[in-house]
Structure 1
Amino acid sequence: MICLRPINWLLFLLIVISGVAQAQGYLRAQGQHIVNERGERILLRGVGLGGWMLQEGYMLRLGNLGQQHVIRAKIEALVGAEATAAFYQAWLANHTTKADIDAMARWGFNSVRLPMHYNLYTLPVEQEPVAGQDTWLEQGFALTDQLIAWARANNLYVILDLHAAPGGQGNDLPISDRNPDTPSLWQSEANRQKTIALWRKLAQRYANEPAVGGYDIINEPNWGFENPEDKNGCKETQNQPLRQLLVDITRAIREVDDKHMIIIEGNCWGNNYAGILPPWDKNLVLSFHKYWNYNQLADIQGHLDLREKYNMPLWLGEAGENSNLWFTDAIRLVESQGIGWAWWPLKKIGFNNPLEIQPNADYWKLVDYWQGKAERPTPAVAKKALMQLATHDLRYEHNRIHTDVVDAMLRQPHSAMTIPFKAHRITRRGGKIAAVDFDVGLSGHAYWDKDSANYHVSTGSERMPWNRGRVYRNEGVDIAHDDKRKAYYVNHIEAGEWLEYTIEVDKAAHYTISASVRAAVAESRLGVRVNQVEQVEQALAASADWYNQVLGVVELQQGTNKVRVQTSTGGFELLSLGIGAVR
C-alpha cells in the first residue's frame, strides 16, 4: 500500500484555508448557504461510497454487464446461489470499513455520501408477502448505523443518498440497478409508495442524529415524462411526476424529522429543474451533478441562477471520473462560488479515485470469460477469485492509495506549490529516479501534457483517455507497465511535454545525468533544466529496446533542486533518470 506523504501538511493547509473541517451539529439551509447549529457556513468536501451497496459494471471492469442484478446472475451461473450469497455478504462487510472512513478524515474530507440500494432496507414490491405492506430488512439499516458511527467518531457528516429507488428511477439502468422488464419507479404507484415509506423509516431512525448531514432523496432521476423519446428527461419542461414525488417524500420525512436538510435532484441526471421549483420546504438544498464538461463559470451559471432566484443553497452532489487537472479545476470553480461537493467514487478497480482495488489474477480470468475472451473458468477457480476479491482485495489495507488524486482534490485548488511524489535523494555516489515519480502539483507546474482531461460532453467528441495506460497516476501523463522489467514508464511523449522532479542532493557538485529511453525514431530529443536553467540536450538514437543515453553534465546545489526533463520533438519513452557524480 502506497503511503500518502503530504497528509499532515495537507490537512493543516485545508483547515487554515477553510475552517470547516469538523462537524458542529445539524446542518441546515440558511439563505444560499449550508450552516451548522452555530450558524457557521459549512463547505462540504466529501466522497461518495459508490460500489459498496450498489455495484456498477464499469467499477468492476465488466464493461456492458452494467446492472448489479445482471452481474449477480452471471456470478450465480458460475458458482451457484449459495456461493453468490456468500460473496455479496463478504462484499458488504469489506468494501467500506472503519479504516476507509478514518483515512478520509486524515486526508481532510469532512463528509461522506452513502449511495443506498433500497433492497438492503426493504423487499422489492414484487416479493412482498402482503401487497401494499413493507417488510423491513435490518441489514441496510445496520450497515448505515455502522457508517454513521465511524463518521461521527471522525467528525464527518454522512449524506444519505437513495441511489437505487424501488423499480429504478431512470433509463440509465446501471446507476439504479433497474430491470427494464419490471415497472420502474415512474410506472408503479406501489414503487412510489415504497420509496416514500422507506424515507419515512430512515428519517424516523436518524431524526436525532446530527452526524447525518442530510437526505439526498432520489439520485439522478432520468426519465422522459412528456416525451418517451427524451429518455433521460433532459428536454422535460414540466417534470410534474418528479416534483410530486419529491414533495410527497418531504412531507413523509417532516412527519418524523424537522431537523435534517433535504437535498433534491432534478431530472436529466440531477440537472433539469424545469417545473420542479419553487421550493416547498424551508430546509431544501439544490443538488447538481457535473461530468466531462468545461470548468468555466458559464458551465454552472444556470445552477447559480436558480440559487439566486430561489435563495437556496447549491451542492455539487456528484462529480469525478476524470483527470487530476479536471478535478482541481472543477473544485476550484465551485468553491469559488461557495459550493461544496461530493466526489465519485472513493474506490473502484481503476486509477482515478483516492483508492484503487487491485484484484487477484484469477479475477481477470472471470472478466475475460464474461467479455468473451477466454474459456469458462471452473466453479472452484471462480469462487476462489470472487472470495479473494471480496475478503482481501476490497479492503483498505490492500488498496493502492492514489496520493496524487487526493492532493488534486484538497490541496491543489488552493496552492500552486509542487511537492515530491516520492523522496529522491542524490548521494555523493548519485542516484536513480523512476520517470513516473515526477512531482505532484498543477499542470504547468509539476508537469505538462497536451491531453490532460476529458471534456467530451462540452466538445461533442469521443472520450479522451488523458492517461492512455490508465495506471499508476491520474495526471495527463501517459503511463504504461513493462511486464518484463516489472516497472512503470512514461510513453506517448509529444513535443513540448515535460516532467519535473524535486531532488535532495547531499553535496553540491557536477553530476552526469542519463536517461533510460526507448525511441521509435532517431529524431527525438531530450533536454534537462536544473533550477530553471537549461543545461543539456541530446538527440536519442532509435531503438526497439531500452538503452541508457548519457545526456551530459549538470550542476546541482546542495539541498533541494528542481530537475525538469523536456522534449522539443517527442516520439520516445522514458523509464528512468540516472544521476552520477563526476569524478
Structure 2
Amino acid sequence: MNPSRREFLKKTALVSAGLAAGPLAAKSLNLEPVQNALPYWRGFNLLDFFSPDMEKGRKNPPEFLAWIADWGFNFVRIPISYPVYLDFDRSRPILASEVLNFDESKIEQIDRLVYLAHSHGLHVSLNLHRAPGFCINAGFIEPFNLWKDQDALDAFCAHWEMWSKRYKHISSDKLSFDLVNEPFMREDPNDQHSPGGPVPVEDYYRVAKSALETIKGINPHRLVIANGNGGGGIAVPELADLELGQSCRGYHPMSISHHKASWVYKEPDSLPDPIWPGEFNGQYHGRQMIEQYYAPWIELLQKGVGVHCGECGAYSKTPHAVFLRWFEDVLDFLSENKIGFGIWEFSGAFGVLNSGRTDVDYEDWYGQKLDRKYLNLLMKYA
C-alpha cells in the first residue's frame, strides 16, 4: 500500500469515527486538498432542452446568461433530452428506427444557446440527460436499454458522433461533453418510484468507453466527463483508466436536498423538516457527514481523475435557513478541494431566481424574483 493510499484510508476511518461520536465531533477534519485535473467551473444548469418536447422546455431569456457572467460565474451545463432535437411522430412512443432522425432546425436552437453562453465567456458542458435507451426520469418510453442492448449503444455513440463533428473546432476550454446523466438501473424504467441501483460497472465501462472512443476519434482533445453511478453519487474508480473526468452530485443528504420532492418520495407531505447541523433520524447531520460522503471522490482526485459537481442545490420545500447552512458546508468542502459546481437550476424550484419558496424575502430583479441570500452565498465561491 503506497503512503498516499494509507493516509487516505486513515483519514476516512477518522471521519467515520467522528460521525459515530456525534455533535462533539463536529469540528472539521480538514482533509488535505489535492490537485484537481478539471478546471474550477462554477455556475448553473440551464434547462432549455431538458424536456423531450422542445415546446415544453424551460427557456431562459438571453439576459440570464449575462447575469450569470456578471455575477462572477464561468460555467453552464446544458442537460438535453435527445428526442428534443429529433423529428418523429410524438403521438406514440419513439421507435428504434427513429432515434437518429436529427432535425437540423431544432439542433440549431441548441447551437444558439451554446454560442450565446460562449459570447459571455462561459464554459459549456453539453450533457445527454436522456440518452437513447436511458434516462433516470420517467415520462418517455424508450425502445431499448442503453446498458444492455447493442442497438441502443450504437445510437448513443451516433449521437455523440453528431455532436463531436458539429463542434469539432471548438476548444475544450469552451466546451466539454458530459456523456449521460446519472446512470441507474430501475426495475421498471417507466415508474419513477420503482426500486433500482447502480448500473453493473462492466456495462457502464463498456458504454463509456465506446462513446469516449467515438468522441476522441473526431477530436482527440475534447474534454469528456462521466457521471457517478447509482444516480450520480457513486464514484467509479473502475473508469480511472479511461481519459474521463467524473461528475459527482451535491445532494447529500437527500433528506435536505430533496425535502418533500414528489418525484423522490411517495408521501412527501408526511416528512418532518430536516435539521442542519444536529441530530436527525437517529444520526448527527453535520460537516463530517459531507466529508465522509465525498471521501471516494477525493480518492479519485488522488488518482489523478478530475472531479466536478455537475448538479447540486436543494428543492424549494427545504426550509431556507436549513438549506443555506447545509449548502455552505457543501460548497466550502468542494471549494477546499477545487471541485467546481453546477447549481440545478438558475431559475426555478432549485434556483436563485423564481424558486417559489414561501420563506424567502425576494428582491425584485428586473421583474424576476431573486433570492439574494442564496446568491450571496454562491458568489462567495464564484
Tell me which residue corresponds to 2:354.
356
Relative to structure 1, the CA distance from residue 140 to residue 246 in structure 2 (aligned partners, 3 Å threshold; closer, same or farther) is farther
Q: Could you tell me whether the CA contact under 8 Å between 2:352 and 2:375 is conserved in 1?
A: yes
What's the CA shift for 1:127? 4.7
Give 1:33's match in structure 2, choosing from 33, 36, 45: 36
Q: Which runs of 5+ in 1 are unaligned?
A: 1-30, 36-41, 56-67, 70-87, 359-395, 415-583
Partner of 1:242: 204
Equivalent residue for 1:272, pick from 220, 226, 234:
234
1:48 pairs with one of 45, 49, 54:
45
- Return closer, same or farther for 1:357/1:313 CA change in 2, 3 Å cut-off: closer
Pairwise mapping of residues 122-521 of structure 1 onto structure 2 (< 5 A)? Answer: 122=86, 127=94, 131=97, 134-170=100-136, 173-174=137-138, 177-179=139-141, 182-210=143-171, 212-223=174-185, 231-234=195-198, 238-273=200-235, 276-281=238-243, 284-293=244-253, 295-296=287-288, 297-308=291-302, 310-321=303-314, 323-348=323-348, 350=349, 352-356=350-354, 398-411=367-380
CA deviation string 1:438-477 (max 9, x = no partner) = xxxxxxxxxxxxxxxxxxxxxxxxxxxxxxxxxxxxxxxx
SS at match of 1:195: helix
- Specify the code of the residue in structure 1 equivalent to 2:164: A
Give 1:399 shift. Answer: 2.8
Find the aligned partners of 2:166 and 2:287 in 1 and give their Cα distance: 39
Q: CA deviation at 1:291?
A: 0.7
Q: 1:102 to 1:179 in 2, by over 3 A?
A: same
| Residue 102 of structure 2 is aligned to residue 119 of structure 1 | no
Cα-Cα RMSD? 3.1
**Amino acid of the structure 1 residue aligned with 2:313:** G
Change in 2 beyond 3 A, CA 1:344/1:269: same
1:108 to 56, 61, 72: 72
Distance (Å, rounded) in 2 between the aligned partners of 1:397 and 1:354: 14
In the other structure, the counterpart of 2:280 is none
CA distance in 2, matches of 1:107, 1:137: 35
Give SS of 1:186's match: coil
User: Structure 1 residues 124, 163: closer, same or farther in 2, change over 3 A?
Assistant: farther
Distance in 2, matches of 1:189 and 1:254, equals 20
Report which of the two has the higher share of strand: 1
Deviation at 1:189, TM superposition (A): 2.9
CA distance in 1, matches of 2:342, 2:99: 34
**Identity of matched residues, %:** 20
Q: 1:327 to 1:285 in 2, by over 3 A?
A: same
Work out the CA distance in 2 between the residues paired with 1:168 and 1:300: 26
After the TM superposition, which residues 490-569 of structure 1 pair with which residues of structure 2 at under 5 Å, given as runs?
Answer: none
Q: For the structure 1 residues 289 and 398, does the alpha-carbon distance in structure 2 shift closer, same or farther, using more than 3 Å as the test? A: same
Please tell me whether the aligned partners of residues 94 and 141 of structure 2 are also in contact (alpha carbons under 8 angstroms).
no
CA gap 1:187/1:46 in 2 versus in 1, 3 angstroms: same
AA at the equivalent of 1:33? N
What's the CA shift for 1:144? 2.1
Distance 1:178 1:189 in 2: 20
Evaluate the alpha carbon distance shift between residue 400 and residue 119 of structure 1 in structure 2; reply closer, same or farther with a 3 A threshold.
same
**Unmatched runs of 5 consecutive residues or more in structure 2:** 1-33, 188-192, 254-285, 316-322, 357-364
| Distance of 2:220 and 2:375 partners within structure 1 | 35
Shift of 1:321: 1.3
Q: Distance in 2 between matches of 1:326 and 1:290?
A: 11
Closer, same or farther in 2 for the Cα pair 1:207/1:329, shift >3 Å? Answer: same
* Largest Rg, 1 or 2: 1
Letter in 2 for 1:311: G
In 2: Cα distance, 1:254 partner to 1:331 partner? 32
CA contact (8 A) 1:334 1:340 kept: yes
Q: Distance in 1 between matches of 2:101 and 2:36?
A: 38
2:186 and 2:141 mapped to 1: Cα distance?
17
**Larger relative contact order (C-alpha < 8 A, sep ≥ 6)?**
2
- Distance in 1, matches of 2:234 and 2:157, equals 22
Q: Please state whether the residue corresponding to 1:115 is helix, strand or coil.
A: strand
Q: What letter is aligned with 1:255?
A: G
Once residues 290 and 149 of structure 1 are traced to their aligned partners in structure 2, the CA distance between those partners, rounded to angstroms, is: 27
- Distance (Å, rounded) in 2 between the aligned partners of 1:266 and 1:149: 28
Q: Secondary structure at the match of 1:184?
A: coil
Change (3 A) 1:104 1:213: same
Instruction: Please tell me whether the aligned partners of residues 167 and 184 of structure 1 are also in contact (alpha carbons under 8 angstroms).
Output: yes
Deviation at 1:54, TM superposition (A): 1.9
User: Whose helix proportion is higher, 1 or 2?
Assistant: 2
**1:26-46 deviation digits (Å, cap 9, x = unpaired):** xxxxx94346xxxxxx31101
C-alpha distance after superposition, 1:497-526 (max 9, x if no partner): xxxxxxxxxxxxxxxxxxxxxxxxxxxxxx
Instruction: Find the residue that maps to 1:288 and give its secondary structure.
Output: strand
Say which SS state the counterpart of residue 400 (structure 1) adopts.
strand
| Maintained 8 Å contact 2:88/2:98 | no
